[in-house]
Structure formats: C-alpha cells, structure tokens
Amino acid sequence: MPLGEFDLIARYFARPARRALLGVGDDCALLAPAAGMQLATSCDMLVEGRHFLSTVAPDRLGHKALAVNLSDLAACGAAPLAFTLALSMPRAEEAWLDGFSRGLFALADAHGCELVGGDTTQGPLCICISVFGEVPAAQALLRSGARAGDDLYVSGTLGDARLALEAFRGTLDLTGDALTTARAAMELPQPRVALGIALRGVATSAIDVSDGLLGDLAHLLRLSGVGARLEVDALPRSATLAAQAPAVQRECTLAGGDDYELLFTAPPGRADAVQAAAVAGGVAATRIGRVEAEAGLRLFDAEGRALPNTWGSFDHFRP
Amino acid sequence: MPLGEFDLIARYFARPARRALLGVGDDCALLAPAAGMQLATSCDMLVEGRHFLSTVAPDRLGHKALAVNLSDLAACGAAPLAFTLALSMPRAEEAWLDGFSRGLFALADAHGCELVGGDTTQGPLCICISVFGEVPAAQALLRSGARAGDDLYVSGTLGDARLALEAFRGTLDLTGDALTTARAAMELPQPRVALGIALRGVATSAIDVSDGLLGDLAHLLRLSGVGARLEVDALPRSATLAAQAPAVQRECTLAGGDDYELLFTAPPGRADAVQAAAVAGGVAATRIGRVEAEAGLRLFDAEGRALPNTWGSFDHFRP
C-alpha cells in the first residue's frame, strides 16, 4: 500500500514540540517569543533543477533546504526557534523521505530549531521552508545600517559552490578531493548563526550572500544609501578555488552564488570586536573593503588598479 | 526586456509595512505580537493541477492562496497579522502578476494582513504562503478540546466547491447561475476569521474543513479522544446543491473538500453563545451532531436510521 499523506507526516516529520507552545498536528502552530524579543521570519523555496540537481543525496537536500533559511536568520542576528515545511513531491518514496528528514533534522537539532507545522502535497519536487527566530528588540542586523567609513567584511570563503556547479556543468575539470570539497560547499552550506548572534551590537549592517557577492552587496549599499570600495583580490577563497585560473577565481568569488556567508559592515574602531565575534562564530571574518559616501561600487585589485565591473548577479527571471 | 526578479517584487509585491516592525526587503521580516498574545502560524502550498485548475483567473487564485491560510488562523481563533509569499512560476508574466497580486491584496487588506516577505523563483507554478496571527495566551481553539456531550457545529454551507469540481470534470451538468455560484465557492472561499475570533472562550475545539467534512472531523475526534454522532441530512447546503440528486448532495457535503468552513464543538449550554458568535462572524452556524465518549463516527439520516460510512477523505498520496 502506498504511503499516505498522514502516515508520512507521522513517520517522518511529526516530533513532539519542546519549545513551541503547539507544534505539528493542529491548524496552526503557536509560538511565544520570550519577553523583550522580536520574532524574525523568512522563507525560501527550492525547486528541483533550479536550486538543486536531481542527483543530490536526499539527506544533503534536507540539510540545504533548512540551511538557506537559517542563513537568513543569521543575517539578522536572530537565534533559531522553529520552522515549517511545505513539501510537494511526485511520489511518497520512503528512502527519499528517510534521507531528507534525517538531513533536515540533523541541522535543525544542531541549531535547536524545531519543526512546528507544514503541508505535504503531490506535485513537482518543491520545498518551501519558513523559519522563525528571535532577536532582542532593536538589535536585529539590517541591510540598511551601513555608514560611510565602515569596514566591509565577509565570513568564511566564497566561490566553492559555484566551482562545483561549473564542474557539474562541465565547464571546468575538478576531480578527487577538490570536487569533494567544492561539492560539500554547494550541498552542505553552514549557516553562520553563531556569527550573526555574536555580531549584534557590533555590525552596522548585514546580509547573507546567496545570489553572489556583487549582487547582495548592491542590495546592502542601496538600502543603506551608500557606496563602497571592494578589494577583489582580498576576497577569501579556499585552497581548492585558489588553484583555479585567476578568471575563474574572480567569477566564483564575485558572482558565485549559493555561498551563504555573511556580508557585513562595522566601524574601523570595532575591528577587534568583529574578530572576537568571528571566534565566537567559529568562522573567519575577512575585511574586503570600505563603505564610502559616494553611491556605487568601485572594484580594485591587489595593486590598487581599478577593475571594470563586468560580472552579473543571479536573477531567476533573466537569462 | 523581460521583467526581472527584483523588479517584479518591487512592482507587484513590495508595500510599506504598517504593523510589522520590518517588512519586505531585508533578510527577515520582524514581527512583535502584542503583550499577552501568542503567535499562530500556518503554511499551505498550492500546486497547479493539484489545488487549482490552469484556467482559474489569476485574481481568484491570489484570493484563494491567502484564503486557505487565513482559514487555518480562523480555526485557531487567531487575528491575522501578516503573511509571506513564496512563488515559483514558469515566466514573469505581467498580466498574471497584476491579477494575482490584486486578488491577493484585496483579501489581505480586508483582513488587515500584510505581506512582509517572501521568495520568487522560476519553476512550475507553485504558491506557498505562511500566515501569522495573534491570539490571547491560552485562548487558541485547538483540535483536541472536544468533550463528550458537546454539540457539533459547522459554519456556512458545505459541498459547493466539490460540485463545481465535478462540473469541470464533466461528471455532472451545471450551467448558468448554479455553475457561477458553485464556481465562486471553489475559487473564492471566504475564510471565517471573524467567526473564529468570536468563538474564543465559546468553542471547545475547532478545525477548518479543507479535505472534506468526514476526514477533518476524524482528525478532530482522534485528537480529542472522543467519537461522534453525525446527522447527515442536517448538513447545511446551498440551494444549488440541494437541487442535485441525493447521492450527489451526500458526497459533496460529507467528502467534498475545499469548503474552508469551520467545524467546531461547544457545550449544549453555550448554544446561545454559539449563535451570537455566528452573528458576529456574519455566517450561519448549524448544529450537525453530538460528541460522544465512544470512539468512532456514527452517521444517521433524518429518520434516525444508521448509515454506513462509505465515503473517503482526500489524501494527496493515495489514488
């Protein structure tokens, strides 16, 4: 007998609520942010063929579907509380559901983020997660807070996910450990939740890098009403990416996509606090430029030469 | 030039936040439930061909996508606050987006529910909305509160949406005003938000009827640990449905689906309060049976004869 909708929820997704007042199984979930806390929420939809390849292991897909949402909480400095999962899939395949739910809950448990509700339906493979976190009143990190003179930082390294994508597309050769490393960056992004929390009161603005550094930086600068100088050769990259041709390195770090690192700003006087936050967050924070009053983005190489900005940002509705 | 992702958000979906602390445009939205209030949340995903026909007018689809979510808030007695929209669509068609957003915002505005975030992507037509409401602490209507001796009620009328679906499937003839009425029930369901709020402190349990009365009643009874006696011929139906063959009437009222009425219970002593809530909610509330201690559901016709339960409930993963 095929697995029914309510059986599959019971078997793979219903777990007792621990922190939420009411979890899976009623018309709504009930959440109560602690006194003085605001509720942060974000949602992301992942569609097969667009956000992930059909060949991805289901446990990695479960991880990534939640990770991209936790990354949005991280960019606000919010601590994860709960999430809902809406899942459309062609068939209720037990092996797939087992892997997907394992990857999903492993990451959820690591961040104390519990599943409180959702929806399952038959259709094309499509995953929509809404995540909920809490942040002390007036302490959320916003995209709009960057000020001229602030330093510009990015966490971790950039470009490995794009490198893996290009390897799968066949536009470059990548084998062995290099492919394994790049593929893990694409399929198992680590949301910078601890860093985001540690940056409360330190960073003046933040955004998560999901569409490529240049595109996401442009959002931050526009919403802050400022411009910036970006040191292109200072962008942090893995040894795997650093072994590629210079043009590949620039494409992947500047316009890679799927990085899920935090791009943020802080006054120069808070440089030590930024590094302390990075230690608390368990990830490097690299200074990559400076915010300037003049609108627009200016790129420079290691020798201080201006570079033309010829890289595009990812847009789902433009070729 | 095709409409880009950020242009389409700006043109059709970005509106200034009025009640939320932070709306569309940052990594997260920020919500702050009022003091003493809990946050209720629910999400529903609608997939083309599964939840709606490709021929539906986009404004009606916008209405319905939000309505089915507001119906979940109604079933909890929660007052709407905000929602997020994740939208996957094959192309960014301006005429479609214009209609969809008009229908969506007309219903949102009618309920003071503002769009605070979301996601857009290219893919199969798939709409995922998460809705947020607030309800006073410990006053949420749950599925688990029904007690033996309670009366069983349903709001409005049942079965018209299913009648329309059968007309579109060609299994019965429906024309003129009858088709228009049934089609409106299917495409423009009215979430019973005001009724849900008015039932706080009156109803002992509630659920919204989305998969068919029998299926949703079974959930409520199971979670409450009780059974019920259901008066099949007392189920409220429109004049349109009442003009159909008796077997069609029973199928549509008992196992119709897409009704979005509230099914709820209240002690017999609160019958007047139920009717006052119905007046406040602008919709009829009809007594359709009684909760009993014995598990299971027993069906009776108008003459008091027991009927076998041969109707199935909708399951997305069973044929």
| Binary contact (B45, A140; C-beta < 8 A) | no
Residues 6+ apart with CB under 8 A from A220: A143, A146, A205, A206, A207, A263, A265
**A149: helix, strand or coil:** coil
Reading the block at residue A155, the tokens are: 């966490």
In sequence order, the β-bridge partners of residue B302 are none
Residue B132, class by beta-carbon neighbours within 10 Å (0-12 exposed, 13-18 middle, 19+ buried)?
buried
Chain A residue numbers with beta carbons less than 8 Å from the beta carbon of B28 are: 40-42, 72-73, 75-76, 78, 133, 140
Of A312, A164, A126, nearest in space to A240 by CA: A164
Phi-psi label, residue A241: left if phi above 0, alpha if psi -120 to 50, beta otherwise? alpha
If you average pLDDT over residues B174-188, what whole number do you get?
Answer: 94
Is A247 exposed, middle or buried (CB count within 10 Å of its CB: 0-12, 13-18, 19+)?
A: exposed
Residue A147 DSSP one-character state: -
Flag whether pLDDT at B23 surpasses 90: no
Give the helix ranges, DSSP H, for chain A.
5-8, 58-76, 94-110, 160-169, 176-187, 193-198, 213-224, 239-242, 246-255, 271-281
> In angstroms, what separates the C-alpha of B255 from chain A's closest C-alpha?
17
Residue B163 contacts by C-beta under 8 Å, 6 or more apart in sequence? B172, B174, B182, B185, B240, B241, B244, B248, B252, B256
Cα angle for residues B256, B259, B260 (degrees, 5° grid): 150
A34 lies within 8 A of chain B by CB: no
CB neighbours of residue A177 within 10 Å: 10
Q: Looking at chain A, which residue has its C-alpha nearest residue B121?
A: A316
Specify the pLDDT at position A292.
Answer: 98
Contacts of B91 in chain A (CB under 8 A): 317
Q: What domains are defined for chain B?
A: 5-136 (3.30.1330.10), 151-307 (3.90.650.10)
**pLDDT > 90? residue B295:** yes
Element housing B3 (H / E): none
Contact B181, B240 (CB under 8 A): yes
CA distance B301 to B222: 23
- Give B137's contacts in chain A (Cβ within 8 Å): 32
Band (pLDDT 50/70/90 cuts) for residue B11 is confident
- B284: contact with A, CB 8 A cutoff: no
Mind listing the pLDDT tens digit of every residue in chain A (319 residues)? 467 777 888 888 888 888 888 888 888 999 988 888 999 999 999 999 888 888 899 999 999 999 999 999 999 999 999 999 999 999 888 999 999 999 999 999 999 999 999 899 999 999 999 999 999 999 999 999 999 999 999 999 999 999 999 999 999 999 899 999 999 999 999 999 999 999 999 999 999 999 999 999 999 999 999 999 999 999 999 999 999 999 999 999 999 999 999 999 999 999 999 999 999 999 999 999 999 999 999 999 999 999 988 776 556 665 4
Residue B7 predicted with pLDDT over 90: no
Q: Which residue of A has its CA nearest to B42?
A: A28
A39 with B45: Cβ contact below 8 A = no
Strand partners, B129: B44, B85
Q: Is A129 on the interface with B (CB under 8 A)?
A: no
Per-residue pLDDT tens for B65-90?
999 999 999 999 999 999 999 999 99
Which range is least confidently modeled, B45-49, B96-100, B307-311?
B307-311
Most confident range, picked from A117-121, B94-98, B200-204: B200-204
Neighbour order of strands in the sheet with B79-89: A29-31, B37-47, B126-136, B79-89, B114-122
Report residue B19's pLDDT band, with 50, 70 and 90 as the boundaries: confident
Strands of the sheet containing A79-89, edge to edge, are: A114-122, A79-89, A126-136, A37-47, B29-31
Q: Closest CB to A41: pick one of B8, B29, B315.
A: B29
Cβ of B72 under 8 Å from any chain A Cβ?
yes
The answer to whether B69 faces chain A, any CB pair under 8 Å, is no
pLDDT of residue B317: 59
CA angle, B137 then B142 then B145, to 5°: 110
Q: How high does pLDDT run on average in chain B?
A: 93
